[in-house]
Amino acid sequence: MNEVRKIEKEFLSEKAYRLIKNKVSSSNDQHLSIRKISKEFNMGYSPIREACQRLHQEGLLEGLAGVGYFIPQIEMKSIIEIFEVRKIVEKHVFKEVFDSLTDEHLTALSDYTTKEVNSLQQKDIKGFHKYDKKFHMLFFELYNNSVLLNLMKNVMDKYFICSYKTLNSINKKGNVDAIEEHESIIKYIKQKNKQRAIIELMKHIHHSEERIKKGYYH
């Protein structure tokens, strides 16, 4: 019986974590009230509190004793730091897995890009970001280094929060450009042109940074 309760508790905590992280990404509110979130998601305080603590540890929430949790202000310094990590880590992982990419992986990358297009046509920015993340995470999942995988998940979460909080989150041209950059990366993977594929990946990350900075507001 205790084991069943433990599993139920873990399930609720994980569910709360996903729901709150999604809220953090897209909410315009700064303060997160555990009481309000508990009511909104129809959950007890315990899983909500655990989820907020986890997000606080990951740097996605700020905590203030006696007050609660806050969604951090987006600072230009944060944007620069996120992309500094992406430029170093993504390049390394992409280089390492390039020769292991198969037709199956290419099909998955193309599918993610198609779904990005569909999401954009439906003005579904969350869907667009979902498949953008899947595109980049595929290389980390193939690399199979749990430390780098978790690092990249955290970095991408912070990146998408920055993206939601900038004026360019609904910039159609910027998102179309990002899709075209993904397609260019796929093209050179198909051609087995490693050097050019790496160049296109780095250009894509650089352009993503510029798009975020261009839409930055504080």
Q: What is the pLDDT of residue 185?
A: 98
Asked whether residue 62 falls in the same domain as residue 86, the answer is: no
Give pLDDT, residue 3: 54
User: How far is 63 from 65, CA to CA, in rounded Å?
Assistant: 7
3-state class percentages of the chain: helix first, strand second, coil last, to nearest 5: 80, 5, 15
Total structural domains within the chain = 2
According to the model, what pLDDT value does residue 88 have?
A: 98
Q: Are residues 106 and 24 part of one domain?
A: no
CB burial class (10 A; 0-12, 13-18, 19+) of residue 103? exposed
Q: Look at residue 187 in the predicted model and tell me its pLDDT.
A: 98
**How do residues 128-180 score in pLDDT, each as one tens digit?**
889 999 999 999 999 999 999 999 998 988 887 776 655 445 556 668 899 99
Domain containing 111 — which CATH number?
1.20.120.530
Residues 148, 112 share a domain: yes
pTM for this predicted structure: 0.77
- Residue pair 166/217 in contact (Cβ under 8 Å)? The answer is yes
User: Residue 82 sits in which domain range?
Assistant: 76-214
pLDDT for position 164:
61
- The residues of the chain scoring below 50 in pLDDT are 1, 4, 167-168, 217-218
DSSP assignment, residue 2?
H
Instruction: Tell me what pLDDT residue 196 has.
Output: 98
